[in-house]
Amino acid sequence: MSDKASKPEAIGFEQAIQELEQIIQALEQGDLPLEQSLQQFERAVALTRVSQKKLQDAEQRVQILLQQQQEETLSDFTDAASDEATP
């Protein structure tokens, strides 16, 4: 598992998902003592919240980029080429 001292906010989305999968496997096995299970569960909740936030931020960035693309107007390529050719 990744370093437990690292804050969920400090790790990347993919790393958070990987750690979540590991925590889920450990909890499903049922071999952890109660206190350790609670700690793992708390870590999983924190990782889930951070992952959701990162995913929402990425979706928002995509929406902004798509909106900017729709607002841009394309100029006619042939007009630009003919303007340069005319002395």
Percent of the residues in the chain that have a pLDDT greater than 90, as a whole number: 62
4 pLDDT higher than 90: no
CATH code where residue 28 lies: 1.10.287.1040
Whole-prediction pTM: 0.69
Let me know if residue 86 belongs to a domain.
no
CA–CA dist 10, 64 (Å, integer): 24
Residues 6+ apart with CB under 8 A from 47: 8, 16, 19, 20, 23
Let me know if residue 19 belongs to a domain.
yes
pLDDT at 8: 84
Buried b (16+ CB within 10 A) or exposed e, 1-30: eeeeeeebeebeeeebbebbeebeebeeee
Q: What would the pLDDT profile of 55-87 be if each residue is shown by its tens digit?
A: 999 999 999 998 888 877 666 777 555 555 555
Domain with 29, as residue range(s), is: 8-72
CA–CA dist 18, 16 (Å, integer): 5
Say how many domains are in the chain: 1
